[in-house]
């Protein structure tokens, strides 16, 4: 949620001085000026044009919602006690809202039978809730996936009298060491997640990107996609590049948690009504963007880093899956150059179709025939 700036002002304060104060904080959306017995909210509207609005009333331009995307892993259906169930496919979404703050919970419904749902949940999340009933291979694989997806913030909820000391050795030396341990209290966890959501500080940029996780037709509306803004911002009427494929889609409308907005920023979960495309053009894995640096390619020569639990070198002719954003693609290893360290190989690989990415991103390498551990490591995308 955008921080609110407060000034205690004399009733004789001039409008120019107010505007001057606002210009100092132009990148913040909400300004509240407190007069004796009077409070006025000053909202930013288009390129430093300002509009008085009543305090608390927030119009559709209010990109002030604090939103948090959380992967809930370990016990199927646990998120149902925290929030209201929404879209359900191979991943299930749950929605929680209090005031202007929202939390989207994602459960990998068809995991462990399929690895893709676990990847999708971890890939979209900025925080995780790991519910631990027992120590098993599924828990280990889930923790490795969170590490490879870079989910560095989260909570462990321990059940069945499991002590923290049983988890500590497993996560030592990983980003999961920073996770907080909580008791199994649904109400306390719900409030904690809402507080976390309120502390989110969205950033805006001229260009924005939304990987699609669901797409469908809505009668009277047309094509609607669901996804998360992973960088920058988008606005109503924007023309978005659809990758791969190169089509153009126009944003007809934007919804966040069933409310209409004119804009969305990084971290927002959105529903976009689109013009000029069909559902098959924007199905899961498609990327909608205005960012000119976004690339798409079927061929890569890239540095890989294998997780310490992976026991065998990568070899030519192996078929690995590459996960990035909401893409989960087949790839064939054409060549391997490990330069003496098989855990840090340079891989030459060809994908089944183009992978969409920002240069500098990391993808997750997975081997579906890997037995109890199918997460191999990460791949640097240049």
* Domains of the chain by residue range: 5-54, 66-198, 209-289, 295-380
Domain 209-289: which CATH number of 2.60.40.10, 1.20.120.350, 2.40.30.10, 3.40.50.300: 2.40.30.10
Domain 295-380: which CATH number of 2.60.40.1120, 3.40.50.261, 2.40.30.10, 1.10.579.10: 2.40.30.10
Tokens representing 326 are 């909401």
Residue 365: the pLDDT is 98
Residue 344: the pLDDT is 96
Residue 23: the pLDDT is 37
Prediction pTM value: 0.82
Residue 7: the pLDDT is 36
CA 294 to chain centroid: 17
Q: Do 66-198 and 295-380 share a fold?
A: no
Residue 205: the pLDDT is 65
CA distance 108 to 78: 11
CA distance 7 to 10: 10
The DSSP code sequence of 40-96 is EEEEEETTTEEEEEETT---TT-TT-EEEEEEEESSTTGGGGTSEEEEESSSEEEEE
CATH T-level fold of 66-198: Rossmann fold (3.40.50)
Given a cut of 50, the residues of the chain with pLDDT beneath it are 1-63
Contact 63, 36 (CB under 8 A): no
For residue 294, give the H/E element and its range.
none
Give, as one character, the DSSP assignment of residue 231.
Answer: B
CA distance 176 to 142: 11
Tokens representing 302 are 């890239």
Residue 258: the pLDDT is 87
Cis amide leading into 170 (omega within 30): no
């Amino acid at each position: 949620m955008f921080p609110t700036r407060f000034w205690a002002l004399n009733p004789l304060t001039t409008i120019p001085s107010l505007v001057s104060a606002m210009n100092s904080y132009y990148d913040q959306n909400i300004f509240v000026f407190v007069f004796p017995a009077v409070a006025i909210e000053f909202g930013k509207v288009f390129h430093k044009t300002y509009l008085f609005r009543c305090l608390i009333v927030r119009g559709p331009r209010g990109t002030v919602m604090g939103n948090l995307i959380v992967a809930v892993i370990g016990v199927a259906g646990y998120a149902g006690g925290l929030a209201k169930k929404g879209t359900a496919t191979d991943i299930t979404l749950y929605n929680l809202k209090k005031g202007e703050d929202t939390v989207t919970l994602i459960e990998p419904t068809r995991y462990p039978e399929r690895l893709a749902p676990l990847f999708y949940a971890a890939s979209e999340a900025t925080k995780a809730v790991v519910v631990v009933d027992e120590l098993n291979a599924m828990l280990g694989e889930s923790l490795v996936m969170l590490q490879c997806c870079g989910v560095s913030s989260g909570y462990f909820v321990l059940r069945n009298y499991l002590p923290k000391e049983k988890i500590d050795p497993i996560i030592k030396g990983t980003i999961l060491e920073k996770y907080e341990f909580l008791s199994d209290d649904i109400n306390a966890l719900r409030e904690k997640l809402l507080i976390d959501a309120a502390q989110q500080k969205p950033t805006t940029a001229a260009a924005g990107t939304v990987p699609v996780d669901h797409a469908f037709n809505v009668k009277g509306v047309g094509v609607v996609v669901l996804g998360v803004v992973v960088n920058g911002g988008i606005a109503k009427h924007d023309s978005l590049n659809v990758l791969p494929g190169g089509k153009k889609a126009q944003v007809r409308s934007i919804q966040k948690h069933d409310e209409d907005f004119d804009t969305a920023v990084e971290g927002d979960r959105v529903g976009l009504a689109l013009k000029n495309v069909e559902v098959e053009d924007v199905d899961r894995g498609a990327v909608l963007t205005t960012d000119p640096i976004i690339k798409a390619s079927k061929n890569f020569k890239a540095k890989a880093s294998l997780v310490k639990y992976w026991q065998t070198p990568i070899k030519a002719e192996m078929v690995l899956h590459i996960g990035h954003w909401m893409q989960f693609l087949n790839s064939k290893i054409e060549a391997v150059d490990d330069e003496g360290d098989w855990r840090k190989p340079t891989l030459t690989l060809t994908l089944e179709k183009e992978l969409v990415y920002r240069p500098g991103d990391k993808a997750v390498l997975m081997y579906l025939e890997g037995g109890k551990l199918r997460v191999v490591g990460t791949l640097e995308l240049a």
